[in-house]
Structure 1
Amino acid sequence: MTKTNSGNFFEDFHVDMEIFHATPRTVTTGDVALYTALYGGRFAVQSADSFAQSIGYERSPVDDLLVFHIVFGKTVPDISLNAIANLGYAGMRFLQPVYPGDTLHAVSRVIGVKETSKGDSGIVYVSSRGFNQDDEPVLEYVRWVLVRKRAAASPAPEAVVPTLPAALTPEQLGDAVPFIEATEWNADLSGSPHFFEDYKVGEHIDHVDGFTIEEAEHQLATRLYQNTAKVHFNQHTEGQGRFGRRLVYGGHVISMVRSITFNGLGNAFHFAAVNGGRHVNPAFAGDTIYAWSEITDAQELAGREGTGALRVRSVGVKNRSCADFPLFAEGTSYDASVVLDLDYWVLMPRRG
């Protein structure tokens, strides 16, 4: 009997399968510093204890997407070690702040499976939750991933495709919305004069800046999250695959886009929820990522008078400017330059 783990293939999954993922991870200030070095995030709440404390946080919380990546990384050896591609996300909520010193672990449940028409792979739908050291949930989300079959001739399980929420409402953000003292918000220190009231539904923002993906950086980032998916690491096998090279982890692109959006959404202090997201096209080392956003909704929050919720659609694009807001080429077909289409809620202080 082998003692090594070759990962689960599509045939190994079944609906209601529960997986307790290995290797809890204590988040340190070193993780935070390295995350900042990778993406250059400038959001004041995540950058300065003094700023975070002035508006009511215990101290500067860990970046929401770093929490996501760590929890996601826990799930990879059991869910997507043999993945061809991670396809999308839905119903993601960040439930409470995480601080350096907190220890995160993850649990997942399979909620759907469907073999592809070629019969050599299948889509697995998984609901995952991240918890802190007190078993308090800090994050929950659904993702679906294309996973190789061990053998194309293997019988496939009966197809079950779950019904996923098209979007979360502001009410569903619930207690995850922190109380802040908006009157203490210092726009000079946050780097942006634009508050919740300054954004209008239908507004488009070209975030202007571009970041080039470096081979060493995307490899380092994926190791930081303990993400072991072969498509990101093993050039020996991926060199013989469909692209001939390693894929950049899609979450790396999400964090790049989030950082780029600071230029235009600098007061978006909390990445509260993801309604849905798609990795539209692959990204590779050497690609330069740009981003643009559309404000699709703006909601006041009951009981949180100092805070508003903006629903944002951010589009990540490779190797071209976003001045003309590229998205679709013809009809509903994505432009070949689009790598990410992300629909999410951010929290923004209200003026005064």
Structure 2
Amino acid sequence: MAEFAYRGRNSGGELVFGVLDGPSSSAVADQLFSTGITPVHIAVASAPPPKAGELKLGFGARKIGLSDLMLFCRQLHTLLKAGVPIVRALAGLQESSQHPELKRVVGDVREKLEAGQELSLGMSAHPQVFSPFIVNMVRVGELTGRLDQIFMRLYEFLAFEKKVGDDVRGALRYPITVICAVTVAVFIVNIFVIPAFAKMFTSLKADLPLITRVLMGTSDFVVNFWPFMLVGLAAAGYGFRLYVRTADGRLRWDTLKVRLPLAGSLLYKAALARFSRSFALAGNSGVPIVQTLSLAANVVENAWLGARILGMREGIERGESVLRTAVGAGVFDALTLQMVAVGEETGEMNALMSEIA
């Protein structure tokens, strides 16, 4: 039994509020109706503050990752395909889940279903767990009556997303490790090695080449000001993080990322793979192409590429062909454009986009 805070109006139209115990929000609503109160808002009551000695810190709590969502979609597909009602399926997943946060989210979605809301609406209340793409795909499944198929396709999409992410991280791990090792080595050389040679050269009182004098001056600067350098680097990193959280900063950074010498090509291909896969999934599920492009723009995880995809949507809304808008976007290579042209001519756009991914 949980405590639910409610607001409602009695038979005289007066606003009333309070707290009731109940197994779910729908049960609390039934209690209120039986007493002549029409509920306006029902929510789980805030937990009381912990007593002395019972304070628990939330550090180290595991977030809901792609693997957890994959398991959730696969299990829900299996239960729905077996004919289990959606509320009962969610209750079973809530009980069997080993992830505390996912258990809480699934429980909240189930309660919203019991209160008469749609599944997609209940999932949209947790944007940190269910992305707009997942919510919209579930909404399509509700409208078409193919929720079980939608969850299987979402499982496949999330598995592909996890593979792309693992491949990108694996490819970037070595160069990042090398850069970090070189940075540490340069720091050690400037702090410990060059000063030792500088003392020897100073005692010899010999004329040193320009490059040697530059190295010694650089080492002296690092030795004398390294604490300020570390503070400056930390401040610059913090300022950069704040900047890229803005719309303009995110757009500029994402534009720069795909133009980096080595990693840029990899990040660009990964973004295009996400676009192609999400386009194929949404198209095969019956989502109109305009809405499909809107969903795909959010999936690519790149503001610059997302803006170009939204530009394609605007062109299609004006009546232009997919190929013409793709050429105008300027983000697709010749092979991709050729596949788009063939797919548009044959009506097999979704299948070819899946092949591109």
- TM-score tier by shorter-chain length is under 0.3
Task: Say which structure, 1 or 2, has more relative contact order (CA 8 Å, 6+ apart).
Answer: 1
The structure in which a higher percent of residues are helix is: 2
Q: What's the TM-score, normalizing by structure 1? A: 0.21
